[in-house]
Amino acid sequence: MAIVGGGPAGATVAARLARAGHEVVVLERASAWRWHACGVFSSPATVEALRRAGLDDATVRTVSRAVPAMRVETPAGTTFRLTYGDDDRLLAPAVGFDRSVLDPALLRLAEKAGAEVRRGAAVVAIALAHEGRPGRLTVRARAAAGDETLGARVIVGADGLRSIVARAAGVARAAWIPARVGLTYHLADERPAERPVDARMRLIRDGYVGIAPVPGRRLNIGIVLGPSWGAALARDGAERVAGTIVAATPRSEDDPAHWRHGPPLERIAGAAPIGHRVARRTGPGWLLVGDAAGFLDPFTGEGLHRALVSAELAAAAIDARLRGRAGAFDAYERAMRRRFAAKDGLSLLVQAFLARPGLFEYAARRLRTRDRVRATMGLVMGDLIPAGRAFDPRFLVALLAP
């Protein structure tokens, strides 16, 4: 079995299948971890998924920093705090992850389970399974001379937004929303590491900025920009545009924002477009997981949690298929649809509000003053209750009624 991509989804699939006794090869393009555009803010549901994947508590504590809430800020000055709990349950903190430690830890977990991890192995061509024949991959390893062709009964695409597996299967599609650019990097934060610090989500013209504390007294800056920013990015470059946007961040009641004018701690990583979808997630001898299986909206912060859940479901489906259960891959497709269709619908609804600042401002003012509605929204956004709750007519009336 070949897994293309050694990020969280690919590593988790590999670890689970290796523990089940299957021969697994992970083909990771990068020879060593490097900073790239990726999500770092997530809910407590992601922490539980990491524990289910096999990360021990000490590692989880090392790679994560508790974040009390996400403070959403509109251009008109309305703010509200999304937390992951309500009046009937103990609040659970969200987390900011150190991906430079988390991602390698998950790959080591796969190796410890018995998977072979080939770093610096870029897959340059794929022939998927056909008429009962196994799929084949052409691998170009940077450390080796020439190309190598591998055979695999199952090929897993865990290779992100521009998945070569999804393209080979002919299922890659453009996102439903306009193409956007994502920029991410870290800034130093002088505040004590033990001090609870809210994350911030600032809406700006045709975009938004996420500011999340992560381990090591750093802040992760994630900027999403719509099409109207294209000319400025082409003219001034990503570093200047990002610096100008971040420098305009106002102080908040608990954040003096001294970090605004600090230099980036690494190169600014970009991704464009940052959304895509697929016509389906499975086919004869192949599956897609993580971002390769579709990614829509960084605003809702669902990427890392979805990657881990899709890895769980995919590993179970592959194990069942290799043990002779017909229809296991179709079951994976159905399970993914059941698990994430409502969340995708919510993401599209959020994007519709973001595209109309007056409408988002209307909703923000009501979320600020309606505690129960805001608590439910936090649980939905954090993947702690079914996203379908956000489409309950009673919830919509409570949110939108004057």
Q: What is the pLDDT of residue 87?
A: 43
Distances (CA, A) of 353 to 74, 218, 299: 12, 31, 12
- Residue 91: CB partners within 8 Å, gap ≥ 6? 68, 83, 84, 85
Judgement on whether residues 285 and 261 belong to the same structural domain of the protein? no
Q: Note whether 314 and 157 are within 8 A (CB).
A: no
Q: Look up residue 82 and give its amino acid.
A: L
Span 376-385, average pLDDT = 89
d(CA 295, CA 307): 10
Judgement on whether residues 11 and 144 belong to the same structural domain of the protein? yes
> Worst-scoring range by mean pLDDT, 133-142, 175-184, 212-221, 282-291?
133-142
- Residue 101: CB partners within 8 Å, gap ≥ 6? 62, 63, 215
* CATH number, domain with residue 252: 3.30.9
On the question of pLDDT at 387 being above 80, the answer is: yes
d(CA 54, CA 23): 19
The range of the structural domain enclosing residue 191 comes to 181-271
Of 222, 249, 271, the residue at which a domain comes to its end is 271
Q: Note whether 27 and 119 are within 8 A (CB).
A: no
Q: Which two tokens stand for residue 387?
A: 């996203």
Q: Is there a domain that residue 78 lies in?
A: no
Q: Note whether 49 and 308 are within 8 A (CB).
A: yes
Judgement on whether residues 36 and 99 belong to the same structural domain of the protein? yes
Judgement on whether residues 315 and 295 belong to the same structural domain of the protein? yes
Q: Is there a domain that residue 84 lies in?
A: no
Q: What is the pLDDT of residue 192?
A: 87
pLDDT digits (tens, 9 = 90+) for 226-235: 999 999 999 9
Judgement on whether residues 54 and 141 belong to the same structural domain of the protein? yes
Of 304, 324, 343, the residue at which a domain comes to its end is 343
d(CA 302, CA 100): 19
Judgement on whether residues 52 and 117 belong to the same structural domain of the protein? yes
> Worst-scoring range by mean pLDDT, 51-60, 172-181, 225-234?
172-181
Q: Give the pLDDT band of residue 13 (cuts 50, 70, 90).
A: very high
Question: Which carries the bigger pLDDT value, residue 320 or residue 129?
Answer: 320
Parallel, antiparallel or unpaired: strands 94-97 and 64-67: antiparallel
Judgement on whether residues 108 and 157 belong to the same structural domain of the protein? yes
Judgement on whether residues 34 and 112 belong to the same structural domain of the protein? yes
Judgement on whether residues 264 and 352 belong to the same structural domain of the protein? no
d(CA 79, CA 71): 7
Judgement on whether residues 22 and 155 belong to the same structural domain of the protein? yes
Q: Give the pLDDT band of residue 176 (cuts 50, 70, 90).
A: confident
For 367, counting Cβ atoms within 10 Å of its Cβ (0-12 exposed, 13-18 middle, 19+ buried), the class is: buried
Q: Give the pLDDT band of residue 90 (cuts 50, 70, 90).
A: very low
On the question of pLDDT at 86 being above 90, the answer is: no
Span 72-97, average pLDDT = 80
Of 223, 246, 271, the residue at which a domain comes to its end is 271
